[in-house]
């Protein structure tokens, strides 16, 4: 018997792959999924009306790399292929990404030609950043912050206006605090091994590629051939966890919603006891956790205080999400993915996504404003209200 803690996309996917391995190896492993709330999907939540879809968490998925292609295999297997809406390289949402600096929106270059031109707020064409990387001697390091790495290799402007806002867009965090090895491992390894990113890139282009053993589904092959930038799901991303949940149920996984696990007790090398909030206990042989690290910390605190401390040290940030809908005939926004705000601007918002440009079947103008992240408490205090966040979002989106 095995239990999966958490019914977000992480927990549901764990269930999907455990089932797959189970079926492939003819095991008869009994699976339980325990989710604290009455909903499976975690951060993924879509609100659908006839005119628009509001995404309250993620909205686009990257198809690139082995993990991206593997996800597309899973999506096809779940029967979701016809609901996929790709954003291809010539789509405005793929080409046009902006940053907000000094009360102005600036388009980031998206073509080779743009790299040779001067694009505000950068003081020089971006090609100079590549030159900077080529001439800068490399420094032997075990790890570094993303900000320090980018500043060293490409200069301060790239660190402030390109990479720091990008990190806010990916994980609502501060590039000065996040490990480069965690999010940009290949680039860091190129610096450490070859003396710079451009040098590493050149060498990798000429080195023989190790074969990728992943068998691609039709959908994954199509994404590769058509060079999708990202994709969304028509009708809302929530369809993805909904389908996964149904798949697990159909394959006899016991789905326990409204079941908060309060403690994990490792009894011996083969059994674990889970204490549920209701007072019940569940005894299993394996536990897979997909809950946030700080939540898991409190579950193991009593038996493993050292582990709990390490888990608590993993930062967790809060993002405020405000979806806005304007019932206009013409779009109120430029055709683009949206804009990000560099932390150096000291704004309460991290960025705005232009949903009506990225997602199909949206009438009017739909925007999502993301607020706070790493700076949430600093900007809004500990007890802010939804109304306060809404007012700030409307003011900033204007
Ligand atoms: C605003 C926002 C926008 C994002 N946009 C994108 C995007 O566009 N593209 C993208 O790829 N990624 C995006 N992400 C990231 C993506 O949403 C997450 O990586 C993903 O949803 C995390 O899934 P998870 O299952 O790991 O965690 P979660 O979704 O947090 O799920 C964890 C689950 O565990 C449950 N739980 C917690 N404690 C317990 C307990 N004690 N017992 C039982 N259950 C418990 C919770 O209720 C929750 O359901 C975004 C994230 C945010 C916040």
| pTM, entire model | 0.92
Determine if ligand 1 sits within 6 Å of the CB of residue 35. yes
46-48 and 97-101 as β-strands: parallel, antiparallel, unpaired?
A: unpaired
And the tokens for 113?
């030609």
Candidates 291, 354, 367: which one to mutate for ligand 1, based on the most atoms within 8 Å of Cβ? 291
- What's the CA-to-centroid distance between 43 and ligand 1, angstroms? 4
Of all protein residues, the one whose alpha carbon is nearest to atom 49 of ligand 1 is 42
Cis amide bond preceding 349, omega within 30: no
CB distance 59 to ligand 1 below 6 Å:
yes
Ligand 1, residue 259: give the atom nearest the CA: 43
The CATH architecture to which 2-59+237-312 belongs is 3-Layer(bba) Sandwich (3.50)
Indicate the top mutation candidate among 4, 6, 9 to test ligand 1's pocket, ranked by most ligand atoms within 8 A of CB: 6
- For a pocket test of ligand 1, which of 43, 94, 338 has the largest count of ligand atoms closer than 8 A to its C-beta? 43
- Assess whether the C-beta atom of 15 lies below 6 angstroms from ligand 1: no
What residues are paired with 133 via a beta bridge? Answer: none
**Structure confidence at residue 292 (pLDDT):** 96
**Token digits of residue 244:** 């996964």
Give residue 366 CA to ligand 1 midpoint distance, Å: 23
pLDDT of residue 209: 66
In sequence order, the 6+-apart residues with CB closer than 8 A to the CB of 99 are 105, 106, 108, 121, 161, 162, 165, 339, 340, 341, 342
pLDDT of residue 328: 87
**Confidence (pLDDT) at 196:** 94
pLDDT attached to residue 211: 59
Give, using CA atoms, the residue closest to atom 30 of ligand 1: 42
For ligand 1, whether the C-beta of 197 sits within 6 Å is: no
Crossing angle for the helix pair 197-206 and 185-194, to the nearest 10 degrees? 90
- What is the full per-residue pLDDT of the chain (398 aa) written as tens digits? 999 999 999 999 999 999 998 877 767 889 999 999 999 999 999 999 888 999 999 999 999 999 999 999 999 999 999 999 999 999 999 999 999 999 999 999 888 888 898 989 999 999 999 999 999 988 899 999 999 999 999 999 999 999 999 999 999 999 999 999 999 999 999 999 999 999 999 998 887 666 568 999 999 999 999 999 999 999 999 999 999 999 999 999 999 999 999 999 999 989 999 999 999 999 999 999 999 999 999 999 999 999 999 999 998 999 999 999 999 888 888 899 999 999 999 999 999 999 999 888 788 999 999 999 999 999 999 999 999 999 999 998 88
Cβ–ligand 1 distance for 2 under 6 Å, the answer no
Distance 249 CA to ligand 1 centre (A): 20
CATH 1.10.3110.10 boundaries in the chain = 96-206
Q: Which residue's CA lies nearest to atom 34 of ligand 1?
A: 6
Which of 152, 208, 213, 204 lies closest to 180 in space, CA to CA?
Answer: 152
β-bridge mates for residue 271, sequence order: 268
Q: Which helix (H) or strand (E) is 320 found in, with range?
A: strand 318-326
> Is 60 near ligand 1, meaning CB less than 6 Å away?
yes
CATH class of 96-206: mainly alpha
Start-end ranges of CATH 3.50.50.60 in the chain?
2-59+237-312
Judge whether 146 and 180 are in contact, CB under 8 Å: yes
Alpha carbon distance 31, 19 (integer Å): 8
Closest residue CA from atom 4 of ligand 1: 58
282 lines ligand 1 (CB under 6 A): no
How far apart are the CA of 6 and the centre of ligand 1, in A?
A: 9
pLDDT computed for residue 363 by the predictor: 86
What pLDDT shows up at residue 138? 81
């Amino acid at each position: 018997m095995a239990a999966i803690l958490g019914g977000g996309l992480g927990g549901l996917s764990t269930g999907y792959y455990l089932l797959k391995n189970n079926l492939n190896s003819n095991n008869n492993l009994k699976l339980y999924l325990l989710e604290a709330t009455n909903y499976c999907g975690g951060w993924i939540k879509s609100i659908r009306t006839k005119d628009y879809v509001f995404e309250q968490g993620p909205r686009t998925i990257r198809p690139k790399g082995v993990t991206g292609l593997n996800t597309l295999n899973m999506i096809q297997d779940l029967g979701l292929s016809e609901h996929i809406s790709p954003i291809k390289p010539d789509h405005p949402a793929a080409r046009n990404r902006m940053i907000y600096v000094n009360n102005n929106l600036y388009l980031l270059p998206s073509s080779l030609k743009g790299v040779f031109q001067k694009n505000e707020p950068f003081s020089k064409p971006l090609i100079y950043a590549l030159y900077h990387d080529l001439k800068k001697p490399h420094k032997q390091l075990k790890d570094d912050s993303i900000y320090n790495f980018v500043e060293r290799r490409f200069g301060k402007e790239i660190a402030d206006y390109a990479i720091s806002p990008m990190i806010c867009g990916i994980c609502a965090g501060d590039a000065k605090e996040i490990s480069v090895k965690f999010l940009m491992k290949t680039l860091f390894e190129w610096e450490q091994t070859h003396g710079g990113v451009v040098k590493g890139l050149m060498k990798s282009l000429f080195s023989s590629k190790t074969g990728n053993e992943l068998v691609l589904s039709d959908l994954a092959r199509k994404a590769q051939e058509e060079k999708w930038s990202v994709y969304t799901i028509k009708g809302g991303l929530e369809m993805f966890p909904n389908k996964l949940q149904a798949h697990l149920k159909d394959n006899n996984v016991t789905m326990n919603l409204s079941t908060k696990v309060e403690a994990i007790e490792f009894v011996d090398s083969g059994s674990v006891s889970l204490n549920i909030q209701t007072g019940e206990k569940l005894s299993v042989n394996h536990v897979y956790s997909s809950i946030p690290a700080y939540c898991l910390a409190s579950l193991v605190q009593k038996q493993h205080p050292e582990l709990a401390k390490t888990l608590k040290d993993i930062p967790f940030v809060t993002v405020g999400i405000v979806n806005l809908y304007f019932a206009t005939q013409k779009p109120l926004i430029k055709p683009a993915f949206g804009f990000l705000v560099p932390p150096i601007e000291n704004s309460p918002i991290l960025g705005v996504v232009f949903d009506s440009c990225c997602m199909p079947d949206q009438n009017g103008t739909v925007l999502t404003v993301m607020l706070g992240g790493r700076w949430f408490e600093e900007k809004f205090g500990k007890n802010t209200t939804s109304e306060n966040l809404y007012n700030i979002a409307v003011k900033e989106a204007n």
